[in-house]
């Protein structure tokens, strides 16, 4: 067991060191949701009326509604960043070092997942601190309760990144991930608008949003920020995480995965 924890510590430390070296990544991770919060939310505050739906018990302004979605956005982008760094590691060769370790491959990939989630949590808490300075605060207990929600969302979206990285053969192909994964996942979710609003526009789009695992990750975070649990969303997020992790392990299996197909 000690060997497993030793590897987990080393992989997390390496990812953290890599993250601190990439200051631009940290700034971008914060600027992106802040632009949405300060510019986008300000513009829509007047235009978008929000009825009282759980977990909210009173009318809220749009900028309050959007914060959990922006937390999800940070986790989503970090999951994809982790995927990008895995593809980079494979192209640069350092992935070989990981895959030739005598520890089980599922554990090594899980370590990468945990490391990515730790970084996501740090980014989200930094964002929540800035949002608090901006005047958007949550119940004190919510700041604690959101941690397991972020871990759940981080693991699910990190697993998505892992699964994607096993199918992306070159770094150059990563732009496709932005267009075909990140943007649809983000916009077809409850991050920016509640699902009932989407249903008013299109039943089909509403159904797609309801199936989107990112919607459920956002709802888990939203409820947790008010110290509540949305068990349905948590269950769907767990299920999506398990399926995506299974796909990632399949992709990195030496007998079937990308490494072998590429030669």
- Region of 52 (left: φ > 0; alpha: ψ -120 to 50; beta: rest) is beta
Place of tokens 């299974």: 246
SS (H, E, C) 176-219: HHHHHHHHHHHHCCCCCCCHHHHHHHCHHHHHHHHHCHHHHHHH
In the bound state with other proteins, the residue whose beta carbon lies nearer, of 13 and 39, is 13
Question: How far is residue 96's CA from residue 118's CA, in Å, rounded to a whole number?
Answer: 23
DSSP 43: H
- Residue 92 as a binder of other proteins (CB under 8 A): the answer is yes
Residue 93 CB, nearest distance to other proteins (Å)? 4
Question: How far is residue 7's CA from residue 101's CA, in Å, rounded to a whole number?
Answer: 10
Selected binder of other proteins within 24, 49, 93, 135 (CB under 8 A):
93
- Which range of residues in 73-81, 103-111, 160-168, 221-229 is near other proteins by CB under 8 A? 103-111
- Residue 52 as a binder of other proteins (CB under 8 A): the answer is no
- Residue 250 as a binder of other proteins (CB under 8 A): the answer is no
Selected binder of other proteins within 16, 18, 45, 136 (CB under 8 A):
18
- Residue 4 as a binder of other proteins (CB under 8 A): the answer is yes
Selected binder of other proteins within 10, 27, 28, 144 (CB under 8 A):
10
Question: How far is residue 153's CA from residue 76's CA, in Å, rounded to a whole number?
Answer: 8
Residues found near other proteins in the complex (CB under 8 A): 2-4, 6-7, 9-11, 13-14, 17-18, 21, 92-94, 96-104, 108, 254-255, 259-260, 263
């Amino acid at each position: 067991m000690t060997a497993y924890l030793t590897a987990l510590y080393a992989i997390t430390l390496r990812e953290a060191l890599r993250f601190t070296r990439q200051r631009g990544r940290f700034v971008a991770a914060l600027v992106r949701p802040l632009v949405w919060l300060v510019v986008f939310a300000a513009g829509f505050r007047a235009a978008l009326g929000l009825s009282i739906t759980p977990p909210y018990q009173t009318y809220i302004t749009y900028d309050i509604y959007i914060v959990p979605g922006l937390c999800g956005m940070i986790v989503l982008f970090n999951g994809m960043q982790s995927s990008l760094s895995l593809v980079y590691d494979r192209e640069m060769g350092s992935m070989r070092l990981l895959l030739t370790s005598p520890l089980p491959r599922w554990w090594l990939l899980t370590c990468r997942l945990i490391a990515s989630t730790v970084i996501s949590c740090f980014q989200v808490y930094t964002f929540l601190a800035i949002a608090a300075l901006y005047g958007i605060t949550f119940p004190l207990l919510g700041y604690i309760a959101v941690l397991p929600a972020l871990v759940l969302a981080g693991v699910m979206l990190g697993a998505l990144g892992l699964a994607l990285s096993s199918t992306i053969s070159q770094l150059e192909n990563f732009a496709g991930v932005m267009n075909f994964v990140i943007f649809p996942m983000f916009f077809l979710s409850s991050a920016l608008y509640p699902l009932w609003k989407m249903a008013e526009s299109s039943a089909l789009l509403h159904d797609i949003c309801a199936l989107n695992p990112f919607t459920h990750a956002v709802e888990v975070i939203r409820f947790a920020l008010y110290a509540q649990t949305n068990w349905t969303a948590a269950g769907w997020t767990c299920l999506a995480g398990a399926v995506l992790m299974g796909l990632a392990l399949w992709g990195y299996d030496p007998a079937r995965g990308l490494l072998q197909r590429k030669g």
